Structure 1
Amino acid sequence: MSNLDLYRSEKDHIRENLNKYTIKAFKLLPEIENPRILDIGCGTGVPTVELAKISGGDVTGLDDNATSLNMLKTKIKARGLDKQVRVINDSIFTMDFPEESFDIIWAEGSVFVMGFENSIKNWRRFLKSDGFLVIHDDSKDKDKKLELIKKHGYRLIDEFELSHQVWWDEYYKPLKLLIKNFKDKHPDDQNLITELNIDQMEIDQSFSSVMASSLIIIIQKT
């Protein structure tokens, strides 16, 4: 395993600190036997794998980053989830499924790509009747987002916020320490250093001012 691959693996372990909030959101849904779930913008699949474990259903992870999807495929194989989880390399802009394909659509940090309103409007057709959409987004314009939910044929089931402090304590602070550790150990690995600098920039930008909390919204198609 390269230094870069090892770093990405360790970073994923830090991301798993936030799985408790994925579980919390899932438990706010009514029980669905063997649900079909679409995880849009799944990345390396930390929530994807967790959803497969807690739902017992079939999970489709979609992302356009082949490197991230290869990491997810490795996890799927290692955990024996081959029959439960499938991976699709496609863009949010071009993805297409038959209407009413999924009981649940999961979107952690991906609605910003098309925008909140366009996302909930365009994805609605993929949900079964009375299906659910779970969104993890920044908490800016919360009231406006809740109004858009009603406008586009959903009802609010529940919502909760992850504070600035939660993000710092459970993700960014340990990530910052991980970046420093890898920089100190491998200062001449240029591929690694490039990625470390990108991740450090994300931290710096997030905390250059008071970062807004993030918001998890659970809504149902009406």
Structure 2
Amino acid sequence: MIGFEKGLAILIKYLKNNGYIIIHDELNNDTEKRIIFERCNLELINSFELNENVWWNDYYYYLEKAIKQIDNNSLFQKEINEIVEYKKNPKIFRSIYYVLHK
């Protein structure tokens, strides 16, 4: 992994002037990420958070339901493990979208 700031620097090289980009990331270190956006001369147009309820209601619930309907669900062990982790600590699954302008 190269990290958020290095990855963003690579990404914005391909972004045209006056272009927009949407980044979806984990909610951790929000303040630091906003500082990085400023350093990279990106204007934060908007941001919105997805809390743990959104992830359960719109994703994990249906994923779990679909996996349970499959006879050989061992093919989905990675997804099953992720659902187990979600149920243990749903708050770590919070995420955020950033809408940025160059």
Higher helix share: 2
Aligned counterpart, 1:128: 16
TM-score by length of 2: 0.89
Within the candidate set 72, 78, 81, 1:198 is matched to: 78
| Deviation, structure 1 residue 120 | 1.2
2: CA distance between counterparts of 1:132 and 1:211? 29
Sequence identity percentage: 27
1: CA distance between counterparts of 2:67 and 2:90? 22
- The 3-state SS of whatever aligns with 2:17 is strand
Which segments of structure 1 move beyond 3 Å, counting only runs of 4 or more? none
Where structure 2 has 5 or more consecutive residues not aligned to the other structure, the ranges are none
- The 3-state SS of whatever aligns with 1:199 is helix
What is the total number of aligned residue pairs between the two structures? 101
| Counterparts of residues 12-91 of structure 1 (less than 5 Å) | none
| Deviation, structure 1 residue 220 | 1.0
Does residue 56 of structure 2 align to residue 164 of structure 1?
Answer: no
| Counterparts of residues 97-176 of structure 1 (less than 5 Å) | 113-176=1-64
1: CA distance between counterparts of 2:87 and 2:66? 17
Where structure 1 has 5 or more consecutive residues not aligned to the other structure, the ranges are 1-112, 188-192
TM-score by length of 1: 0.43
Amino acid at match of 1:179: I
Q: RMSD in angstroms over aligned alpha carbons? A: 1.4
1: CA distance between counterparts of 2:32 and 2:64? 33
2: CA distance between counterparts of 1:117 and 1:195? 35
